[in-house]
Structure 1
Amino acid sequence: MNYRYPDFLNRQPVPSPSLASQFQKRALGKSLESNWDRVKVLGDNKDYGHAGCVNALHWARDGEILLSAGDDRTVQIWRMDPTDISDDYPFMCKTVINTGHRANIFNTAMLPYSSRIATVAGDRQVRVFDVGQDHGNSAIGRNAQEYCTVHAKTHILKCHEDRVKRIATEESPDRFLTVSEDGTVRQHDLRVPHSCRSGCPAPLLQLSHELSALATSSFYCVVAGDSPYGYLFDRRFTGRDLQDERGSKAEGLTTCVRRFGRPNSRTGSRSYHEHITGARMSSENGHEVLLSYSADGVYLFSTLDDPETPSSSSIITQNSKRRRVSEEPEQASSSMSSENSMEIDDLMLQPETEESEEAEPDEEPHEFRPWVPVIRPQRRYAGARNVDTVKDVNFLGPHDEYVTSGSDDGNFFVWRKSTGSLHGVYEGDASVVNVIEGHPKLPLVAVSGIDHTVKLFAPVTRESVFSRMSIADSIMKGNLQHRNLRTIPRLDFITLLASVRASTQDEFDANTTSDCINQ
């Protein structure tokens, strides 16, 4: 079957930024070149803060508000108090939303141009709250939230059939996307009422495997999960679905136009490592894509690159317009000692962790859209360890000039996007760092993970207490050794327990709560 693919070079002209905006971005980019250090810990006060792992961070209102959410099933709203002149970063918890989720919250976001906050969790639900002006009030302790949060809930969406992992907002106070391990991405429109589980709209897209990562830019949507590929969908490609009209199960309302895959992706046999934990599209240029692979590194792709055709003789053939990923180690190691760094890079660029002779690879599933052309990566960022938990990935900087990822060793890594060289390694958690979110206007980065707190990092002129660049070589070697020792599938015990808790309450909920009619 022949498909016509979009011309990614045919883009609408972007208006030139103002001189003030250009100056602000230059100043921000210059400041981020400095060494960073921890400048604030949010949630270490007994009156407020989380009581479990912090899985989600989101800067809202152009950075005026920071949302955090996690295993305690609350969303906490942090805001800087301009009247506090005794603290350089006077963030205070203004509101705690007791969401009512029955399992861990994985992601949260404030919908643009509104005071609505959406949450997704392991109980398969999407919940929406309208906090009004509560986020502007004085700090409120965690035991005084019942009145303001009970009346803030506006929607409970039960369209997904498995754990819901990510939210992607749009330029609308009413529409947003969610991705779930049921293999679907759904677009929710709060203006359109429906009865969940009986009259839910068709999913925007549906794949044949679990999904856990979602990123959007303009018309494009990247999804990834339990597969060696990330999938790019063009939401302008819609129309009749003949399978759906014939009574067969449809694969969504939009079209997959590209796949993103590593050079060492294997065909014919598939191990548990073929899993993508995080995806991000550049908000600055709209065409760069980051994918973070479990038990491997972070890969940078571009939708502007020429794809391979599925009939290519070798799956490791690189795009003709740029150098091979295997040619990057010299640049990637420029910030460290050449001898040790080259050794690390050579090891890191080997194919992902091999199974022991006794271990048998998982059965190869039906691959989604195998005829869609594959784009190979421009660069690989190595050093962090992504095995024990689900790591997100992100761009940092006013021009997305940095790439960042958490690590199982409690650090987060920052690389220069253009060269792959290591810009910094910082201790962000006592155990594991999962989420890093940069402030949209200030040189400020929020970090969270297994700890019950949120750490803020910023450039400093003094010596950095939490920088680990002096021992970066040993950290990277240790991460590689720990990664290669893993020969059994990763088990996320925290989310597994949450899933069991949620499933045990299904029968109770069916007898006590009718399907939600979304107003």
Structure 2
Amino acid sequence: MSFSFRVSSSLRPVGARALVQCFQLQWELKGHMDCISTLQFNESGAWLTSSSHDMRVIIWDWVQQRALLEFDSGFTSNVFQAKFLPNSGDTALAMCGSDGQVRVAQLCPSPACQTIRRVAQHQAAAHKLALVPHCPHRFLTSGEDAVVYNVDLQLDQPASELLVLKEKQKRVGLYTIFVNPNNIHEFAVGGQDLVVRIYDQRKMDQRVNNGVLKKFCPLHLLTNQINPVITSLVYSHDGTELLASYNDADIYLFDTNSCDETQYVKKYKGHRNSLPPKEINFYGPRSQFVVSGSDYGHIFFWEKSSCQIVQCIEAVLGDTINCVEPHPRLPIIVSCGLDMNVKILGPSGIVTADPEETKNVMKRNKQAHGECLMSHRNLFDNYMIWCLMHHINP
């Protein structure tokens, strides 16, 4: 059955619950030689980019299941993110990695014509970069050195230090950053503590609340014995809500208009966010669902309003899913993890959601969480140990 038939045969809206409950693995894209860090569609959704621990970037025609372009990134270790810059005609790709570099590739049809330059350098791993909506020349980066850079490609010196995050004079390393899609001056960061911080670039006075516009932190996590950190956060389509995922804990939804720093709106549980750290996302044109990868190869979909798990897909047997990315228009999700292949998921003609199996998966995840409490280390100390063991025992 062809892809076009599967999509056109469904009359349900992209964000319909009944459609999500029919999702299943459709096919895989093979080309990387090591586990894949992240995925991103271009603006039209025709192309997909993947970056990997093999230090290569591949741009795919994901429908035709073929690589259009692949190149060495110039990083000395893992490429954590590679994203098309908006309104660039899909010719500019921003990248960051575990060696702290931030690089930009100017793309040409021939691999020999790629121009790649370093535009910023963190003093520790740079896990995430944040695109500025509709802007082809500017983006933000965050690193474990607690620094946020504003990168403007129109300047001779593109990178300027926007923020050094400190709490009680101690630097707070950052793992994730996202720009509000409805307010390009506002961005949120999370990392090596429990606090989601929102900043407005026009109001970053370090003398007032360290420049922070708003903070959010679930109060009960302050007494959590494993000291969870924030591995991923993302704004909703209109910027009124913010999701944050904590390692070895749950996913929390915050109202960005709220003034209560300890109050979350919703909590989503049942998955397992241990190693490597998992990304989260919204799914649906109005952010109707929450979606996350999980340990042991599963992808979870929660209905945002009810917090119910409406779909749990085993995308890969026994391995970890660390990234999930929705298509900008179609009922398609792509995912990646530790098995080197990109997974393409979409609706089938039957309901694939299995409530009993989902309960079993949740039970196993809860048991694994309990075992983790007995031997918990710092998240990224564990991550480095995991990387070492992964290469010794591929």
TMscore range, shorter length: 0.7 to 0.9
How far residue 204 of structure 1 moved from its aligned partner, in angstroms, is: 3.7
Residue 280 (str. 1) matches residue 243 (str. 2): no
Provide the C-alpha distance between the structure 2 equivalents of 1:186 and 1:495, rounded to a whole number of angstroms: 29
Indicate the residue corresponding to 1:343 in structure 2.
none
Shift in CA distance, 51/469, structure 1 to aligned 2, threshold 3 Å: farther
Q: Tell me, yes or no, if structure 1 residue 224 matches structure 2 residue 170.
A: no
Q: Give the superposition deviation at 1:440.
A: 0.6
Q: 1:160 — aligned with what? A: 122
Structure 1 position 25, deviation (Å): 11
Task: Confirm or deny that 1:29 pairs with 2:5.
Answer: no
1:108 aligns with 2:82: yes
Superimposed CA distance per residue, residues 92-133 of structure 1 (whole angstroms, 9 cap, x where no aligned partner): 21100211211111111000121101111111101111113x
Show the counterpart of 2:165. Answer: 206
> Structure 1 residue 492 and structure 2 residue 378: aligned?
no
1:184 to 128, 147, 151: 147
Distance 1:177 1:461, change over 3 A: same
Secondary structure of the 2:220 match is coil
Q: CA deviation at 1:271?
A: 4.5
Tell me, which stretches of 5 or more residues in structure 2 are unaligned?
1-9, 390-394
Check the 8 A contact 1:280/1:289 in 2, yes or no.
yes
Question: Which whole-Å CA distance do the structure 2 matches of 1:293 and 1:34 have between them?
Answer: 26
Q: Percent identity?
A: 27
Q: Residue 396 of structure 1 aligns with which residue?
A: 283
Distance change in 2, residues 1:157/1:484 (3 Å): same
Where 1:480 maps in the other structure, the secondary structure is helix
Report the CA distance between 1:263 and its aligned residue.
Answer: 3.2
Structure 2 partner of 1:261: 217
1:229 partner letter:
V
**CA separation of 1:120 and 1:441: change in aligned 2, threshold 3 A:** same
Is the 1:98–1:149 contact (alpha carbons within 8 Å) kept by the matching residues of 2? no
1:369 corresponding residue in structure 2: none
Q: Secondary structure at the match of 1:483?
A: helix
Per the TM alignment, residue 463 of structure 1 is displaced from its structure 2 partner at its CA by 5.5
Q: Distance in 2 between matches of 1:222 and 1:25?
A: 37
Correspondences of 1:358-397 after superposition (within 5 Å) = 374-397=261-284
Name the stretch that deviates more: 185-194 or 28-37. 28-37
Whole-angstrom distance in 2 between the partners of 1:288 and 1:260: 12
Structure 1 CA distance, aligned partners of 2:100 and 2:15?
39
Q: Which amino acid aligns with 1:262?
A: P
Offset of 1:460 from its aligned partner? 1.2
Amino acid at match of 1:451: D
Matched, 1:474 2:376: no
Q: Does 1:435 align with 2:323?
A: yes
Q: 1:411 aligns with which of 269, 273, 298?
A: 298
Count of residues in Structure 1 that have an aligned counterpart in Structure 2: 363
CA deviations over 1:458-513 (Å, ceiling 9, x no partner) = 1111364xx55441111101100111111221401367659xxxxxxxxxxxxxxx
1:40 paired residue among 27, 34, 54: 27
Greater Rg, structure 1 or structure 2? 1
Q: Distance in 2 between matches of 1:70 and 1:494?
A: 18
**Counterparts of 1:125 and 1:296, CA distance in 2:** 30
2:12–2:19 contact (8 Å) kept in structure 1: no
Contact (CA 8 Å) 1:225, 1:277: kept in 2 or not? yes
Could you say which residue in structure 2 is the equivalent of 1:483? Answer: 369
8 Å CA contact 1:273–1:294 kept in 2: the answer is: no
TM-score (norm 1): 0.66
2:347 matched residue in structure 1: 459
Does residue 71 of structure 1 match 2:53? yes
CA RMSD of aligned residues (A): 2.5
CA distance in 2, matches of 1:225, 1:450: 22
SS in 2 for 1:493: helix
Deviation, structure 1 residue 160: 1.2
Label 1:152 to 1:410 Cα distance change in 2 as closer, same or farther (>3 A). Answer: same
Letter in 2 for 1:492: Y
Aligned pair in 2 of structure 1 residues 150, 463: CA closer, same or farther (>3 Å)? same
Instruction: Name whichever of 24-33 and 413-422 sits farther off.
Output: 24-33
**Residue 391 of structure 1: SS of its match in structure 2?**
coil
Q: Does the Cα contact within 8 Å between 1:426 and 1:469 map onto a contact in 2?
A: no
Give distance in 2, aligned partners of 1:108 and 1:216.
Answer: 16
Spell out, residue by residue over 1:32-75, the C-alpha distance to the aligned partner (whole angstroms, 9 max, x if none): 344111111111xxxxx100111110011321211111111111
- The CA deviation at 1:375 is 4.2
In 2: Cα distance, 1:90 partner to 1:494 partner: 37
Distance 1:69 1:214 in 2: 18
- Shift in Å, 1:305: 2.3
Conserved 8 A contact 2:219-2:262: no
CA distance in 2, matches of 1:172, 1:411: 34
Distance 1:257-1:460 versus aligned 2 partners, 3 A rule: same
Q: 1:211 to 1:69 in 2, by over 3 A?
A: same
- SS at 2:99's partner residue? coil
CA distance in 1, matches of 2:326, 2:138: 24
Where in structure 1 do 4 or more consecutive aligned residues deviate above 4 Å?
494-498
- CA shift, 1:158, in A, is 3.7
- Are the structure 2 counterparts of residues 90 and 176 from structure 1 closer, same or farther at C-alpha, using a change threshold of 3 Å? same
Q: Aligned partners of 1:469 and 1:288: how far apart in 2?
A: 28
Q: In proportion to residue count, which structure has more strand?
A: 2
CA distance in 2, matches of 1:260, 1:126: 28
Q: Who is 1:334 aligned against?
A: none
Task: Write the deviation string for residues 388-419 of structure 1: whole angstroms up to 9, x where unpaired.
Answer: 21111110011110001111121010000000
Q: Which residue of 2 aligns with 1:301?
A: 254
Instruction: Report the Cα offset of residue 451 of structure 1.
Output: 1.0
* Aligned-partner Cα distance in 1 for 2:11–2:230: 31
| Alignment partners' CA distance in 2, 1:494 and 1:98 | 25
Shift of 1:190: 1.0
Query: Residues of 1 paired with 2:361 and 2:112: CA distance?
Result: 46
